[in-house]
Structure 1
Amino acid sequence: MSKSVQFYLLGKKGFSVLKDFIYTYGAENITLVIGSRDKGVKNDYFEKTQSICNEHNISFLERHSPLPATQVDISFAIGWRWIIDQPCQLIIFHDSILPKFRGFSPLVNMLIQGEPRIGVTALHASAEYDAGDIIAQASVNIIYPIKISNAIDKIAPLYSELLNTIYASILKDKELPAKKQISTDASYSLWRNEQDYLIDWSDSSVSILRFCDAVGYPFRGAKTYIDDIIYRIFDVETVEDVNVENREKHIGKVIFIKNECPIVVCGEGLLKITHFSTEHSLENMAKINFRSRFSDRIS
């Protein structure tokens, strides 16, 4: 017996889940897909999601469009960031191992903090965000350094695995698990905006490396200032530290330039910048003056 499905999808993870679901269960079980554009990333997979729906004759709507009165058995939200108000059963897929990192940008914030495991939680929708009863979880160990794009590739298959398992149970009319979260173990991951892309050079070089990797592609990239010019930092690597006299007075300064790559004094350690550009145009790193200082504010 089939069960009709409605999807709320955002980004690469949403697209991957949709593609895998069509391959496993067929497009005929999908009543509707709701998608959204995401201006905060360079590739939001909106067009690809819409295209695969058109290819398989699946109804597709963009967020804010009026929803039809069609009845569905179950809805799944993958990567979705907005409130969903609907009568049918709703299952949320969240980018963390709940109850840790409830809220927004959990994967980015986990990578910034250097969490050794990343994962996905499928949970029943609730009035309080990401506080619903847990259906299932999956996780994977990671090794640093790791870029956000690679981390997404690691957890995307976990989404499909969980959804396929859950939908198989729904097809058999099995009652889904509903494990209460331990609220005292909960932590919250807050939303990030453009200001949160700024590098704090007083951090350690290891922390800044994790930060740059966590906010890189498909996001816009970490940013910093030299005087009043914004630079986007895409690739960095730690290098062996040296004894910097009065280090706290010289944080953010270029100490060496090697192979046209500036090496910057951090609160602890040194960081080599191997790929960066100005905000609006590519900039040859050789043009960076040796007497340059990176900062989190306009000089």
Structure 2
Amino acid sequence: MQPQATLQEKVTILAIGLKGLMCLKAIDPNNLGIINGVVVGSDKGVVNDYSREIQVYCEANGLRFSTRTSSQQLLESSRYVVAIGWRWMVKVSDNQELIVFHDSLLPKYRGFNPLVSALINGEKEIGVTCLLGSDDYDRGEIISQYRSRIDYPIKIQEAIELVSEGYASLFSDLLNAIKAAQGLHHLKQNEEEATYSVWRDEEDYRICWQESSDKIKRFIDAVGYPYKGARATLGDQEIIIVEAEVAQPYFVENRGVGKVLFKDGELPTVICGEGLLKINKIAGADGQPLSFPKNFRYRFK
């Protein structure tokens, strides 16, 4: 039997999503003794927030867990509070250390939905930062980082899986350092390189057809499953663009963005602010597959 960890060694984990689950699965059995418990978050903005899977994992491994609304005892009894994929403010006492995992390579993309924003912008490298919590979000000193090179097209689920591997790797290293009482080494961020990613809501799922076909394609892939999907209006119906590809460009004299220029069978090629986009699959707002209109003259808004 492993010796009981002192209060100073205890770790409470705030976990949500695939990233949270992957970190839990990465815990070395020899480090289970320093885990005080897990606070499980939930997110109605995604199809699967993995909250049930996280609870099942905790039950199978004898880890205490609670929901976010009943987490006070777990939070107050640990020296370290580690937030993984967490979306809410966390308050800790002066004798506690808050450690945050953020899915960007800080100081770039501080803030909200950094991975989605990075993919829409076509970044060639994504990653994770483990940092100390601070009063100003994502400005704490950096403990460690994990980088992944990517190629496009790439869907958000694949990117999340890549980033989740980084979370698991950094989290495992963090627990090893805490257990060994080595101290956590950290470096200040370069403020001159800082950028920010703003929060998103329902309006931000809508496609802007004035953008280039390349950027719209990246947007469609970046807000797909497990998110709610890229939205557009066809006639009087809200739809989801599920699959699309950048089409061969042609010069269009009167560039009416959103209009269908060609059809390949039923599949429309749509005029964008720059370039053309072929739409391969659509669905209704409920996610059920839809057929394309039979007529030629229609536009996406």
TM-score under structure 2 normalisation?
A: 0.92
* Identity fraction in percent: 41
Q: Does 1:81 align with 2:87?
A: yes
Q: Verify: 1:282 aligned to 2:297, yes or no.
A: no
Q: Which residue of 2 aligns with 1:251?
A: 257
> What is the rounded CA distance, in whole Å, between the counterparts of 2:81 and 2:59 in structure 1?
20
SS at the partner of 1:90? strand
Following superposition, the deviation at residue 25 of structure 1 comes to 3.6
Quote the offset at 1:175 in angstroms.
Answer: 1.9
Note if 1:8 corresponds to 2:14. Answer: yes
Residue 270 of structure 1 and its aligned partner are, at CA, apart by 1.1
1:283 deviates by 4.3
Checking the alignment, whether the CA contact within 8 Å between 1:262 and 1:285 is kept in structure 2 is no
1:40 aligns with 2:77: no
The equivalent of 1:261 in structure 2 is 267
Please say which of residues 226-235 and 119-128 is displaced more in the overlay: 226-235
1:28 is displaced (CA, Å) by 3.7
Which residue of 2 is the match for residue 52 of structure 1? 57
The answer as to 2:225 corresponding to 1:212 is no
Q: How does 1:1-299 map to 2 (within 5 A)?
A: 2=5, 3-21=9-27, 23-68=28-73, 71-87=77-93, 88-247=96-255, 250-280=256-286, 282-287=288-293, 289-295=295-301
> What is the CA-CA distance between 1:66 and the residue it aligns to?
4.5
State the distance in 2 between where 1:25 and 1:223 align.
Answer: 47
Superimposed CA distance per residue, residues 61-114 of structure 1 (whole angstroms, 9 cap, x where no aligned partner) = 111225216622322111001111122211100011111100000000000000
Q: Within 2, Cα distance between the matches of 1:112 and 1:188?
A: 14
Q: CA deviation at 1:258?
A: 1.2
The residue identity in structure 1 corresponding to 2:208 is: D
Report the TM-score when normalising by structure 1. 0.93
Using the alignment, how far apart are the partners of 1:257 and 1:214 within structure 2? 25
CA displacement 1:10-54 (0-9 Å, x = unmatched): 111011111111x45454432111111111110110110011111
Q: 1:289 offset after TM fit, Å?
A: 3.4
SS of aligned partner of 1:72: coil
Per-residue Cα deviation, 1:196-216 (whole angstroms, up to 9, x for no partner): 011111111101000101101
Q: 1:107–1:24: structure 2 CA closer, same or farther, 3 Å change rule? A: farther
1:59 CA drift (Å):
1.4
Please report the RMSD computed on the Cα atoms of aligned residues, expressed in angstroms: 1.6
Q: Structure 1 stretch 284-293 or stretch 203-212: which is displaced more? A: 284-293
Instruction: Give the AA of the match of 2:49.
Output: D
Looking at structure 2, the residues matched to 16 and 288 of structure 1 have their Cα atoms a distance apart, in angstroms, of 45
Cα deviation, 1:188-240, whole Å, max 9, x if unaligned, reads: 11110010011111111101000101101100100001232101111110111
State whether residues 259 and 299 of structure 2, in contact with CA within 8 Å, keep that contact through their aligned partners in structure 1. yes
List alignment gaps of at least 5 residues for structure 2: none
Relative distance call for 1:27 and 1:169 in structure 2 (3 A) is: closer
The one-letter code sitting in structure 2 at the alignment partner of 1:221 is G
Which segment is superposed worse, 107-116 or 25-34? Answer: 25-34
SS at match of 1:64: helix
Change (3 A) 1:279 1:99: same
Does the residue aligned with 1:178 lie in a helix, a strand or coil? Answer: coil
Q: What is the alpha-carbon distance in structure 1 between the residues aligned to residue 31 and residue 293 of structure 2?
A: 55
